[in-house]
Structure 1
Amino acid sequence: MAPTERAERGDLPVDGVLFDKDGTLFDFHKSWADWTADMLLEQATLYGAVPQEVARAIGFDLPQRQFLPSSPIISGTTRAAAEALAVALNAADVDALERLLGIAAADVMQVPAVHLEPFLTGLAAQGLALGVMTNDSEYAAHAHLAAAGVKGHFDFIIGYDSGFGAKPAPEPLLAFAAQMRIAPARVAMVGDSLHDLIAGRAAGMRTIGVLTGMAQAAELAPFADVVLPHIGHIPKWLAGGD
């Protein structure tokens, strides 16, 4: 698939790249679909709920074991997922569900979108500052990146609970730029969802959409400088190629 460009690159260089995690560094469906199916069945049994109703509440097709495009889990925070589950389970303790999901999700084996080690090594060799901003928890982000053997490649790792807010707000993205002492306009935000790209635009950053999440190119294109099949195409784009 050829990348779809929305705007010219211009001459402004990129000095930092800030990645979303799920659906960007890691393939969303391959990483989360089976775990989500098993988790919601377990919770439905525990609370005496109807599995299909639980699945509907979180935007999940249980027979097909896949997320619906409207699922709040795709780009939402762990808190948002816990709140959606709490309604379906008739569970009052949202905080307990949030803790449970956060701890359990950190152990989920992630499926990289590309071979991350050489990819990140190549970007760092160009002098680029690298970061992760995810609407997952900071704890889970550290766990997933460590399990993939690439945590050390990132200069700054931010979760929705790191104290800077969550996407689509721009504040956590601006926190990365401030930490790295890079002007926001010289940072590229890379993500698979509108939350990622809207946050990037609001922060005044370049925006790169990738198709390893649930969104389609046509959905991402209005908010992206470029839409690429996956992050492996970023070095060529940064170098001025298609």
Structure 2
Amino acid sequence: MNKPARKVDGLLFDKDGTLFDFHTTWSAWAGDLIEDLAQGDAAVRARLASEMHYDLDERRFRPMSPIVAGTNREAAECVARAVPDRKVEELEIFLMETSAAAPQAETVPLAAFLQALAAEGLALGVATNDTEHGARAHLGKAGVVDKFDFIAGFDSGHGAKPAPGPCLAFARAMGLAPGRVAMVGDSTHDLLAGRAAGMQTVAVLTGTATRADLAPLADVVLPDIGHIPAWMIA
């Protein structure tokens, strides 16, 4: 029996909130970061929480936090507004180093999931607004860095989402028409980038955005990436 035709030949994943659960990883990291930078000063703690759009009581990012989908540089600029005695460049390095060590919670068991996709002949990539260093560190800790044909951070020379540069770079590297690639992500930045590149867009609900936020920009909204194989042949 012939296999059903699939919708795509390549999948380009966002990292945080897509491959890894956002709140389990980044909300916990941010809470510790705020305490570290505040050094017991309640006023500094409050300023950091305000600038980062972070709920100190819930220990969670608010959905519209500029850090959720922003680059490491944008996060450093955000933090610097609350601690003006610290240089943005210094904070950028500090955030990169501490975030690279943040524990990751996989949204699905990634090794088996990615192995199954690769066995189907799909090209696999990651495009994140984190640094490439951070992306490789997190994927390496999960034991899946070698499962991807392409890994790009905002600092890899292709630009940052929501611009289409990272998406187009993946398509070029894999020799694929953009329309045969799906950009998979948990934020409007991901979906806007994919649409601008002429790709299909798959939204997942493992980040901070809601279905209502994502649906207008997505070809499909899924609970998590584990539902992608069924979508590809539906």
Q: Same fold (TM over 0.5)?
A: yes
Query: Which residue of structure 2 aligns with residue 101 of structure 1?
Result: 95
Task: After TM superposition, give the deviation of residue 214 of structure 1 in Å.
Answer: 0.3
- Pairing partner for 1:118 from 109, 112, 116: 112
Give the AA of the match of 1:61.
D
The CA distance in 1 between the partners of 2:164 and 2:86, in whole Å, is: 31
Give the AA of the match of 2:139.
L
Give the AA of the match of 2:103.
M
Query: Which residue of structure 2 aligns with residue 205 of structure 1?
Result: 199
Cα RMSD, aligned residues only: 1.4
Give the AA of the match of 1:56.
S
Residues 47 and 176 from structure 1, CA distance in 2 versus in 1: closer, same or farther, beyond 3 angstroms? farther
Correspondence 1:166 to 2:163: no
Task: After TM superposition, give the deviation of residue 91 of structure 1 in Å.
Answer: 3.1
2:79 is paired with a residue whose SS is: helix
The CA distance in 1 between the partners of 2:79 and 2:29, in whole Å, is: 15
Query: Which residue of structure 2 aligns with residue 88 of structure 1?
Result: 82
Task: After TM superposition, give the deviation of residue 12 of structure 1 in Å.
Answer: 7.7
2:163 is paired with a residue whose SS is: coil
Query: Which residue of structure 1 aligns with residue 29 of structure 2?
Result: 35
Give the AA of the match of 1:75.
A
Task: After TM superposition, give the deviation of residue 50 of structure 1 in Å.
Answer: 2.0
- Pairing partner for 1:129 from 123, 128, 132: 123
Query: Which residue of structure 1 aligns with residue 53 of structure 2?
Result: 59
Query: Which residue of structure 2 aligns with residue 8 of structure 1?
Result: none
2:69 is paired with a residue whose SS is: coil
Tell me, yes or no, if the aligned pair for 2:6 and 2:233 is still in contact at 8 Å: no
Output one character per residue of 1:186-239: Cα deviation in whole Å (capped at 9) or x when no partner: 100000000000000000000000000000011100100000000000000001
Task: After TM superposition, give the deviation of residue 35 of structure 1 in Å.
Answer: 1.3
Tell me, yes or no, if the aligned pair for 2:202 and 2:222 is still in contact at 8 Å: yes
**Structure 1 spans left out of the alignment, 5+ residues:** 1-10
Identity fraction in percent: 57
Correspondence 1:184 to 2:178: yes
Give the AA of the match of 1:105.
S
The CA distance in 1 between the partners of 2:7 and 2:108, in whole Å, is: 24
**Structure 2 spans left out of the alignment, 5+ residues:** none
The CA distance in 1 between the partners of 2:223 and 2:109, in whole Å, is: 14
Tell me, yes or no, if the aligned pair for 1:166 and 1:172 is still in contact at 8 Å: yes
Q: TM-score, normalised on structure 2? A: 0.95
The CA distance in 1 between the partners of 2:154 and 2:43, in whole Å, is: 29
Give the AA of the match of 2:20.
F
The CA distance in 2 between the partners of 1:177 and 1:91, in whole Å, is: 43
Task: After TM superposition, give the deviation of residue 123 of structure 1 in Å.
Answer: 0.6
- Pairing partner for 1:233 from 217, 220, 227: 227
Deviating runs (4+, > 3 A) in structure 1?
Answer: 46-49
Q: TM-score, normalised on structure 1? A: 0.92
Output one character per residue of 1:14-64: Cα deviation in whole Å (capped at 9) or x when no partner: 110000000000000011111110111111228885201111101100111
2:183 is paired with a residue whose SS is: strand
Tell me, yes or no, if the aligned pair for 1:141 and 1:157 is still in contact at 8 Å: yes
Tell me, yes or no, if the aligned pair for 1:185 and 1:205 is still in contact at 8 Å: yes
